[in-house]
Amino acid sequence: MKKIIPILILVSIATYSFAKSKKIIDAKTDAIFTQYCSSCHGEKIEAFVDRKWKYGTTKVDIVKTITNGAVDAGMPSWKNTLSSKQIDNLANQIVKSLANVDQYKFSSKPKTNIFKSGSMNLKLDTVATGFDSPWGITQLPDGQLLVTDRAGKLYKIDQNKQKTEIKNTPKALSKGQGGLLDVEIHPQYASNGWVYLSYSKYKEDAGATWTTTALVRGKIVGDEFIESKEIFEANPYTKTTHHYGSRIVFDDKGYLYLSVGERGKHFEYAQGTENDLGKIHRIFDDGRIPEDNPFFGKAPNSQTLYTYGNRNPQGLTQHPITKEIWEHEHGPRGGDEINIVKKGVNYGWPTISYGINYDGKPITNLSKKEGMEQPIHYYLPSIAPSGMAFVTGDKYPSWKGNLIIGSLRFNYLERVVLKENKVLENYKELLNIGRMRSVKMGQDGFIYIGVENPGMVFRLIPLSK
């Protein structure tokens, strides 16, 4: 394949990373917002401000709107309820929270494929191009990559960057957020050759198209996917074409974990344990169900269910030291979460959330509730996370042990510094390189990422100074 120089390296950006701003919420003002504003605007000011503003975003504009109201939008005047000082404090807080949103407005594009991160220089090396959306990436023991394209194709990329389509993969519905999604190989791939694919399965019934998340395994011989067998199918099917989840990860005990989104049905499935949607599932490598799953043998519960109350998990990985499974999931407007996967735990969606609905109205006024797990970290505003890996090995010394996550919304790599499962700092890396769909640590110790618009796969190479 002819080497193609990506368009993104021809345009300019500042190649630096910086820590996420600290939250700046005044307790008294926050209490006023909760008492008077949250029923219409949601619990968190930081989520509420991430919107299109009809009446202006300067402090003067905001004070005027709160004071006089906005009749056409159904907002009452607050001048007879709140003091001028309280209104002023609310306006100040909103302006500060708007600055938190503005930190993601990167002004320009990269003009070079060399990026700086602290003491490291990093080269973005183009591995393959010509994708719609490189949704999943995994590396074979011989160094070749397997890459899924959401458009419905699986590719093998050799060490000379030649891209070969693998035929006979399952037929996916490439519509909305659906298509051929994640790919992973068996931990003993060298001896058994098993490859796992998640995808949006569909069927036609009564004149309608119904879809779900499914998982197959098979083997690649030459350029064909053979011995394909379905080992998981989420039920029920829905008519929606989004929130499939679909990330795959193996732990070191022989279990396979698969995420399934709630299919955009906010209030119907995630809190129920009798269905497969809005869940993390755990099975054996051949689809058998572990008898120690939390609802095994408890009809009519979902037997493969391992956690529930999850919205749309598009990141799933194992911690290299603790061996715990970590996941991240999309919130609505605000409230993207990082969680540690725990057996039988309810992660709360949609009963609790730090986000609000896309129309600006609250989904829930609760962010905490007894019996529901809190995230170890949440994002306001939403970064739209996709792909997730822990940095291991010695190629990226200042990143070692960090969690890296792709941002679809803001087109960068989120780097999370952790200590004892707590987030210390967040850094933005590789600014504006594209909608980052997939993030993977290769067996060769390099980080691989996939971006959309245009669809490309890159390897991140550390350079000596």
The set of catalytic residues is 243
Residue 6 amino acid letter: P
- Helix 27-36 and helix 84-102: axis angle, to 10°? 100
Neighbours of 374 (CB within 10 A): 15
**Ranges assigned E (strand) in 296-411:** 305-308, 313-318, 325-329, 336-340, 377-379, 385-390, 403-407
For residues 128 and 139, what is the distance between their CA atoms, to the nearest angstrom?
A: 14
Sheet with 377-379, edge to edge strand ranges: 313-318, 325-329, 336-340, 377-379
What are the tokens at 117?
């991160």
Count of residues in the chain: 465
**Ranges assigned E (strand) in 143-254:** 145-149, 153-157, 163-166, 180-185, 195-205, 208-221, 224-233, 248-250
Contact 432, 108 (CB under 8 A): yes
Residue where the block lists tokens 């906005």: 70
For residues 156 and 211, what is the distance between their CA atoms, to the nearest angstrom?
A: 27
Paired residues of 229 in beta bridges: 217
Paired residues of 452 in beta bridges: 435
Residue 398 amino acid letter: S
What are the tokens at 404?
């890296």
Q: What is the DSSP letter of 102?
A: H
Paired residues of 202 in beta bridges: 211
For 131, list phi and psi in degrees, rounded to 5. -100, 160
For residues 310 and 121, what is the distance between their CA atoms, to the nearest angstrom?
A: 37
Residue where the block lists tokens 């550390």: 462
For residues 415 and 387, what is the distance between their CA atoms, to the nearest angstrom?
A: 12
For 313, list phi and psi in degrees, rounded to 5. -80, 115
